[in-house]
Structure 1
Amino acid sequence: MRGDEELLAAWRAGDRDAGGELVDRHFAAISRFFRNKVTSEDDATELVSQTFLACTASKERFRGAASVRQFFFAIAHNVLRNYIRARYKRKSERLDFDAVCVQELDPASPSSIVMHQREARSFVQSLREIPVEDQVVLELKYFEGLSGREIAALLAIPEGTVRGRLARGKERLRQRVAAALNDMSQEAGGDVTPANLDQWAREVREQHGW
């Protein structure tokens, strides 16, 4: 089986089948990237389409500093930011991606996500309730298995910034999940730990195909 870089080189040389194979290989991951950030399935489908169209238009600019997968995710991240800008309701205010969350933009839950375990459901919903840049780095780590260095490369930010967002995001997520679980039981429950978050992330990934 040809590797990503070999497929990309063939695609750039005019082999459309190689491009199609490369898109097929990464389609599920890019779809996951948008799944918990967009409530409308139609919008999610459109953003995936926009991402791969942008990848097609930008393939000549790929210089190999990062992996092809990181290249695709970097474009998906830019597509997401443009989508959020278009939907941001407070047009008179500066949009701060370190503060705005996707739940604020659209309070509905994504219609494609159906989970019955309350912990998994609270975990996924709470990701929507933390700042979008924290959500992005956490989901890339939890669901795609990217390292801090890989996330830094695709977001074009220092690795130290990624570590800070991961630590801050985990604490915000932990607090949101704990509050949600306590609300469900209507009584104070046990403390939610980082190990709990890792466990629920694995369950979401393994049991729900993320």
Structure 2
Amino acid sequence: MDDEQELLEAWRRGDRDAGSRLIALRSREVTWFFRNKVFHEDDVPDLVSQTFLRAVTARDRFEGRTSFRRFLYAIAHNVLREYLRARSKRQREALDFAQACVRELEPRSLSSLHSEKRQVQALIEALREVPIDDQVVLELKYFEGLTGRELAELLDVPEGTVRGRLARGLERLRERVREQLRAEASSVSVTDIESWAAELRRLRGAEG
């Protein structure tokens, strides 16, 4: 029994082995969700563990109206926001994820993602310089291939809101990448972003 839907139905009936297989199927994706958003690489395993623990705890409340994948991303998104609030040096302030970026919250932090290709590394760093809400939707779209509708369901916002966030976020991202590559590129196109994101997806595949 390897089909995800079959595993999901078995897990909801209480089959722990099916739950373990579901986790194994999605573990790498959830790990990548966190890798470019944390302050320290060592924080990633704990956040992944928290996500799956909450998924198990919430099993009885999961009605199957969405995919297990989107269910996991929704939990991971909440785990991420709690982590950033707790670890931010601005703990006494209300953290606005539509304004604050990872680089601003922890200027000395480094991404756990690395590429030997200069343009791809510039994309990685630039993502940490756009607002966190933008970073989340951009990475889920360009790294994981989620559609606008899927993102809207995951974030519990109208699809039009997602489209607007993607458009604004993409413009901000292009500008940040251009600044990273100012000595090498006078402009950065949407096609460039898509190409470099594809390189990152291949990097994930190579990691196994």
Give the TM-score category using the shorter length.
over 0.9
Over 6 Å off, 4+ runs: none
- TM alignment of 1:151-170, pairs within 5 A: 151-170=151-170
Deviation, structure 1 residue 208 = 4.5
| Residue identity (%) | 53
Out of 175, 200, 206, the residue aligned to residue 204 of structure 1 is 200
Does the CA-based 8 Å contact 2:39-2:102 persist in structure 1?
Answer: no
Question: Aligned to 2:143, what secondary structure does the other structure show?
Answer: helix
Does the CA-based 8 Å contact 2:101-2:131 persist in structure 1?
Answer: yes
Deviation, structure 1 residue 11 = 1.7
Deviation, structure 1 residue 76 = 0.3
Is it true that 1:193 corresponds to 2:194 in the alignment? no
What is the root-mean-square deviation of aligned Cα atoms in Å? 1.5
1:3-45 C-alpha deviation (Å, 9 max, x unpaired): 3332122123221110100000000110010010013222111
Match in the other structure for 2:177: 177
Deviation, structure 1 residue 102 = 1.1
1:50-91 C-alpha deviation (Å, 9 max, x unpaired): 000000000111112211100000000000010011122223
Residue type matched to 1:206 in 2? R
State which drifts further: 83-92 or 97-106: 83-92
1:110-167 C-alpha deviation (Å, 9 max, x unpaired): 2x32211110000011001100010000000011111000011111111111101100
Normalising by the residue count of structure 2, what TM-score does the alignment of the two structures yield? Answer: 0.93
| Separation of aligned partners in 2, 1:65 and 1:13 | 16
| Separation of aligned partners in 2, 1:143 and 1:15 | 31
State which drifts further: 136-145 or 97-106: 97-106
Match in the other structure for 1:138: 138
Normalising by the residue count of structure 1, what TM-score does the alignment of the two structures yield? Answer: 0.92
Q: Which runs of 5+ in 2 are unaligned?
A: none
Q: Note closer, same or farther for the CA distance 1:154–1:17 as it changes in structure 2 (3 Å cut).
A: same
Q: Which runs of 5+ in 1 are unaligned?
A: none
